[in-house]
Every structure is written in C-alpha cells, then in structure tokens.
Structure 1
Amino acid sequence: MPEMPEVEQVRKTLAPHIEGKTITGVKIMLDRLIKHPTPEKFIEGLVGKTISHVGRKGKYLVLETAPNQQLIVHLRMTGALIAQSSEQPAPAYAKIRFDLTDGVTMWFTDIRTFGTLYLVTDHDAYIEGYETLGPEPLSAGLTLAYLAPLAAKSRKPIKTFILDQHIIAGLGNIYADECLALSGILPTRQANTLTQVELVALIDAINAVIAQGIKNRGTTFRDYKDGEGNKGDNQNHLLVYGRGGEPCKKCGAKLCTTKVGGRGTVYCEHCQK
C-alpha cells in the first residue's frame, strides 16, 4: 500500500502535468470507486473546473478544483494517478479517465480496486479517517510532548501504536518496520513501556526513514508507480522490511519474522530491545 513517501512522490510528479489544467471530461469505468457524491454528480461537479493545486494529507491526495471544492483520492493498496499525453493508450487497469486541456489525460488505475475517490464541495461529506488524521512525520506537530502522553496510555505493541493514523498520519507497514529497526525498538514492545529517550529516538527515526523514502522516490516491490508511471528506488535501501531470514545490516544476525496486529513484521532480536 502506498504510504506517505509514495503518495508524496505521486503528488510531486503529478503536479507539473495537471496544475492549471481544466477538466473537460470524465469517464468512470467502475462506479463503486466513487464514494461521494453519485458518479453522475461527480462528473457534473468536475467538468469545467480547473485543478489549481495538487496537495496531500497523510496518505490522501487532495486536488483543489475550486475555492470550495476538493477531489480527494485514497490510493489504498494498488491505486495510482498517472498523467500522460492524450495520444497515448490507456494504462493497464485504468478505471477512471480525466480529460484535461492541453492534450493531457489523467488516469486513475487500480489492480485490486480498493481505491476511493470523493468530490467534496462546501464540506458536504465526512470522510472516515481523513478528518481525524494525526500529525505527519517531518511536521512540527510530531513531538515528544505530543507523543509521550499517548504512548503512556497505550498497551498496544509499539508497531500497532504508530500504525494508527489517528496518532501518526502516513506510516504503513514498510516504514513502521524500518523506523523501529533504526531506533532499536522491538516492534512487540508495549507502547507504554518506552522511555522518553526511546520515544525521542523513535521520532527521529520516523522522520529519517520518511525523508529517505521521499528522497528515493518511494518504495516499489510490485505495483506502486508515481504520477509519471515510474517506480521508486527505496526498496534498495531498506534495513529490515522484506528481508526476513537475511543478515541484519547492523550486526549480521539473521532477521526474524513475526506477526504484529496481523501484519507481517521483520526485526532483529539482537539490535531491537
């Protein structure tokens, strides 16, 4: 599933191609991807509107299409927004086509079709999850003063705790494993057992891991592509994720695998305490 670095890379690569362009037509090939309003009103509300800005909030893309209107896209597992010349054929798994001025077409593609799109006008929809996102990595809101009281009240494993989008927005399974490895914290540790020193190390690791993911244009193991259809490179720089049974890059010990909150988890039992 695309996490904050992947969605940010989509935003960065998509924006130059679609900002300032007017939507001249919309074709929906799979109605159930449109969660608000109806597919008919979705099309009606977008045609003639100009995309003034491509933003992001957590794992959501936010396209400003009018002063009081946003097209909010949640890519979920395999969704992608790709801009290309209108002369090019549709990409694989194309589900929605947005025709834009100046010969540009934006496609929403989705292999597993779990993605969701919302056209919100005058705050006429409440999007579960989107409205209650916590502070993001690399933001001024992610501080020890913010995180310590929440961790102190939680008996959840620390990996489950930091995956909660209400607590920290943008982290998913890949980057949770990575930041816990970098900070030397066992993913199964109860959140309320972490010391302030460990929480500071965790916050620093979260910021470092997310910054690295953005620098490396996201992580691609199979499906993820950016707004120009290109893959990321961060998979070549991971400490633990996807490396179960391989040597730890810090100590050389064999990396362990387990399940935490139902999520596959890789860690080093020597380096993470």
Structure 2
Amino acid sequence: MGSSNSPRVAFVGGGNMARSLIGGLVRTGAPTDTITVAEPNDALRQALAADFGVATFADNVAACAQAEVIVLAVKPQVMRPVCEGLCGIVQKNRPLLLSIAAGIRIDQLSGWAGGGAAVVRSMPNTPALIGAGATGLCANAETSAEQRAIATTILGATGLTVWIDNENQMDVVTALSGSGPAYFFLLVEALEEAAVAQGLPRDAARALATQTALGAGRMLREDGETPSRLRERVTSPGGTTQAALDAFARGGLRELVATAVDAATLRGRELSAASGA
C-alpha cells in the first residue's frame, strides 16, 4: 500500500484485532492520515491516537464519512445495529465493507447496510496480534478486483491470507485457523504436563515444548515438504518417535481431530444462523 494512492480506511471498533491491523498497516507504509477509527471507549481511543497517530472518533458515522474501506471490527452481537447505522454512508459512498466478525454472512452484512454493498468476509486468528496470523477471506460479486487486492493488503499486514471461493466453507476456515491456535496451545499444554509427570522441571518442560512447536511450524512453512514427509523424516523405525506415534494412532488422534474440527464447523454454522437474516 503506497503512500501516494492508499485508500482511506475506517475501522469501526478499536479492540485488539483492529489494533493489530492498524499497526500492520502503519508498519507497511500506510499514511496515518488515511486511517480513522471509531471507538466508544475513551481510553482505547486515546491509546490508538497516541500510539499510531491516527484520527479517532467516538461516533461511527464521523469516522467513516470519507472512507473507501470500512473495517467492521465489532462483536457479532452488535454487527446489525452498527451496519444499519452506517447505511446512509454505504449507500452514498459505496465503500468496501470488510468484516472480521465470526459467523456473520455476506448477505446479512450487505442487507443490514441497505443492500448492494461490496463485502469481504474474513476470519483472522489471534496470532495476527504478533504479525503471524492466518486469515481466510471471501468476497461477494459486488467486490471488484481492486477491492479484493485492498482487502488482501489490509489483512496481509498481519500474516498469511487465503481466498475462499465458497462462503459456505468459511465455517471450516473458522474451525481450522480461527479456532486452531487453541488446539496447538492445548497440545503444548499436554506435552508440558506429560513431561512434568515424568519428572522434568516445569520451566524446562514448557520451554522445550514451546520451542519444539515453534520449530515444527517453521519447518512446515520453510522446508517445502508435506507434513507427512516431514513426519517420516523424523521417525526412525522402532525408535522413540515411532513409539509415540503408535500410541497416538491407538488413541485415535486423527479421528479425534476430525471430530473436533467437525464440531467447531457445526457450531460456526449454528452461530451464523442464530445471528438472524
């Protein structure tokens, strides 16, 4: 996003995820005078202005008045009234609506904003807070190629972006990468507890488990091999790794993971349905 042609981006909501996106944009060269934020909390608003030099507002309409992109960074429960409150601006200026709320469908967002809006629905995850996020994105037919590129730039400022053609698959994205960090935290937690039970000091167990997870993740990104091939390379027949993997297989690890992702996907669909038409 160059300084000469950066779109005007307004954030509605100034919480942690919005803060990470604003920080990413500023770090990658977006002029601060192209970014505005609407946030009702005085302390959050003042912190955003002080830390990033962006203009902040207590009122959503004031923040979005000149925006070419409106990033909807509010909780799903308040998304409808927020969109309805911005209906006049959306219908007049036709900005891109970029939602980072889980479970809210594109047709809902467009309808609440008066219809016919360009909408990108996204699902970032919490590692975006440290610039290591993974975000799935899906756009409607009203969204231009230029607007898709802008959405990629905004979400890409905090990590990897992947476009999804079928919006129905966004619930799978939520189950995989949106909820996924918790799965890895749970595995590291379990590894730490198992090592402590074997007599290893907790600080050593946590440090080793954490660094092992980091190293494995980097190898998955940087080595170029498939996960199965990387697993095979570290597994000697009859060795310690094989013994552990055999135990995982006896416990049905793959089946359990499939069940967990299915449960999270189903819950995402339920939440979407519950948010109303």
Common fold, TM-score beyond 0.5?
no
Q: Which has the larger radius of gyration?
A: 2
Question: Relative CO higher for 1 or 2, CA cutoff 8 Å, sep ≥ 6?
Answer: 1
**TM-score, with structure 1 as normaliser:** 0.26
Name whichever structure is richer in helix by fraction.
Answer: 2
Higher percent of residues as strand: 1
